[in-house]
Amino acid sequence: MIDTRTIVDRSRRHHAAETAAETVRIPGQTIGHPGGGGDGNVLRIAYCKVDAGTGIAIQCYLDAYGSDEEVTVYCSISGGENLNKAVRRLADGDWLIVIKINDVWYACEGFNDSGPC
């Protein structure tokens, strides 16, 4: 006898995977629902314009490397305050998933201080 709960669960997971595949796009394009959801915030791709330096901010191009739209992206660093000492070490051309909140761009990934080895 087939357990219908298993079939329904598998169907829901399959639908969720299809929806995710439809909304995630290659770097340089919008990620997420085209409408941006209820608050209008949409995830975007930013490409580092420079290698990581001191501080928690890095200059980036929005949507495509070398684009006309340049933004400052702020990053959260656990246990540290300098991107040039954080893991993953950002370099010119690396890309980040970013979101704009109250006119400020933030990296969606967190970083860790590399600390003394």
- Give the model's confidence band at 2: pLDDT under 50 very low, under 70 low, under 90 confident, else very high: low
Dist CA 88 CA 113 (whole Å): 9
Helix (H, G, I), strand (E, B) or coil at 13: helix
**Higher pLDDT among residues 4 and 111, named by residue:** 111
Which CATH number fits the domain that encloses residue 83? 2.40.50
Overall number of domains in the chain: 1
Strands (DSSP E) contained in 1-117 are: 44-48, 57-62, 70-78, 86-87, 95-101, 104-113
**Which range marks the domain in which residue 100 is found?**
25-113
Statement: residue 19 has pLDDT above 50: no
Structural domain includes residue 5? no
Structural domain includes residue 12? no
CA atoms within 13 A on the CB side of 105: 21
Statement: residue 70 has pLDDT above 80: yes
